[in-house]
Amino acid sequence: MVAHELFRLFPRKSEGELTELKSLLVSRPTLERTACELGLGEALLLSENEEATGGRTRPSILADAFEALLGALYLDGGYEVVRMVVVDLLIHELPVVSRNPALGNYKSKLLEYVQKKKNGRLIYRTTGEKGPDHDKTFIIQVMLDQEVLGEGRGESKKQAQQEAAHAALEKLGVVDDNGQAVDLDEGAGQP
């Protein structure tokens, strides 16, 4: 639905640009922020343990709750109702997400860099998991062939991979420490 709306709004953007915008709009930070704005955390029915460990403010739970809300709206009201909500609550986030480099899809940027420079094959390797199942932290390394380029930590493997890719892009000189892109042809270092 988000992809369809973006294509409708920006028919001249490339597939890659549209994909980047879509990934920003449906990312955990955007869904979490939207859930917070709606006050979904206060409406959740949680176990005592989840309540005691901060479940009402946990990003993964809030993002999942927003997705569940969209599913319930679809079952109750159909496609058009959900489309109106998506346009109203997510598409209007475009100015926010497109200005915030910290929300970028670093895995895609790293893959694009490696493909452009033809420097080998990327592998994401889980090197550790810490904490109980309801509050786990994943540790992931991204490797280019046999060289470790970066390590990341996150509440999900996806988040840890993004962090690892961001660290790799910084190491390679493709983004600065603020997440701002460096020109791939001029400023990028070699691994």
- Phi, psi angles (nearest 5°) of residue 91: -60, -35
DSSP class of residue 131 equals S
Count Cβ atoms within 10 A of the Cβ of residue 52 and give its class: 0-12 exposed, 13-18 middle, 19 or more buried: exposed
Structure tokens at 108: 């895609």
Instruction: Determine the average pLDDT of the residues in 137-157.
Output: 91
Q: Is the dihedral of CA 76, 42, 90, 24 positive or negative?
A: negative
According to the CATH classification, is domain 105-172 in 3.30.160.20? yes
Of residues 175 and 125, the one with the higher pLDDT is 125
Question: Which pLDDT score is estimated for 36?
Answer: 94
Query: What percent of the chain is predicted at pLDDT more than 90?
Result: 42
CA distance 59 to 40: 11
| Residue 99 pLDDT exceeds 80 | no
What ranges do the domains of the chain cover?
Answer: 2-102, 105-172
CA distance 125 to 70: 33
Report whether pLDDT(187) > 90.
no
Please check whether the two domains, 2-102 and 105-172, share a CATH topology: no
Residue 100 has pLDDT above 70, yes or no: no
Residue pair 160/153 in contact by the 8 Å Cβ criterion: yes
Question: 72 or 13: whose pLDDT is higher?
Answer: 72
Q: Which of 183, 186, 114 is nearest to 150 (CA)?
A: 114
Q: What confidence tens digit (pLDDT) does each residue in 7-45 have?
A: 999 999 888 788 888 888 888 888 999 999 999 999 999
Q: What residue has token string 């569940």?
A: 68
CATH number of 2-102: 1.10.1520.10
